[in-house]
Copies of this chain bind each other. A is one copy, B any other.
Amino acid sequence: MDKKTLFGNIQQKSSFLCVGLDTDLAKIPSHLLKEQDPIFAFNREIIDKTADFAVAYKPNIAFYEALGPKGWESLQKTLDYIPKDIFTIADAKRGDIGNTSKLYAKAFFEQMDFDSITVAPYMGQDSVSPFLEFEDKWVILLALTSNGGSSDFQVLETEGGKPLFQQVLEKSQRWGSDDNLMYVVGATNGAKIAEVRKYAPDHFFLVPGVGAQGGSLEEVAKYGMNSNCGLLVNSSRGIIYASDGADFGDAARAEASKLQQEMARLLEKYG
């Protein structure tokens, strides 16, 4: 998917909501466990009920990988089921030497047909570039994450007084453009989002911080939005586990709708 199409979808749905498919056998409603593929049955219902409000779906690959070959089949079925006009993110945090990253790219962009993949920057340019060579596919590079451990290395001051995440933002902009490169930016507070936005004014940010991980949507929009919206805000557990009963689909729909309405307001106000 190209940037223009993505932004068109955001405008059409008045939403920049990404629904995270962190689908866990231990958390899905128990009546689904008798299904032949409970993970896919759950995801199908979530997709049916939230597709009106979501511009992106983000399966967290670990949840599928933990189930072995069957998990990969559930993932493939889920990906095939997502409507083609909705952006898909393989949240995989991959990254390795060039020939190996190329294989990961093939796995997620050819074997499967994801629009994008999250990539870790530690190994540098040749670990990221192979993902950028696929047309209309995107790298979403870790810049500043929302977890506690983000303070261990990402904010260390480096040469020129720049925190490491700024080095990642600046250097990586030479490897790709805002047409094939986004960043993971954890929503902790407005000042931080504003700082990151300064270093990457035109790129989309994938913001994982709303919902179970905390963070304020208003702050994110106020300080992070740009002229193409420039934001995909993810919510996983807050939507998909809104109910653990037979009504989980409707409960997810209600939560997604609530977030979309708030996003429509914010697009009006800051977009």
Contact = CB atoms under 8 A, between A and B. Distances in A.
Interface of A: 22, 60, 62-63, 65-70, 72-73, 76, 91, 93-98, 100-101, 103-104, 106-107, 111-112, 120-128, 142, 145-154, 156-159, 164, 167-168, 171
A44 B213 CA distance: 45
A120 B154 CA distance: 13
Given A123-B150, A154-B122, A62 B159 contact: no
Contacts of A65: 103-104, 107
Contact of A100 (B60, B69, B146): B60
B124 A122 contact: no
Contacts of A167: 153, 156
Contact of A158 (B67, B122, B157): B157
A123 B147 contact: yes
B147 A120 contact: no
A103 B149 CA distance: 17
Nearest to A70: B69
Contacts of A22: 100
Contacts of A111: 66-68
A231 to B, nearest CB: 20
A157 B97 CA distance: 22
A96 to B, nearest CB: 5
Contact of A156 (B96, B127, B159): B159
Contact of A122 (B72, B97, B142, B157): B142
Contacts of A62: 94, 96, 100-101, 103-104, 107
20 contacts: A60-B96, A62-B100, A62-B104, A62-B107, A63-B100, A65-B104, A65-B107, A66-B103, A68-B72, A68-B111, A69-B76, A93-B95, A97-B145, A124-B151, A124-B153, A125-B148, A126-B148, A156-B158, A156-B159, A158-B164
Nearest to A73: B69
A179 B27 CA distance: 34
Output the residue of A106, A152, A158, A159 with the most chain B CB within 10 A.
A152
B103 A154 contact: no
A149 B124 contact: yes
Contacts of A106: 66
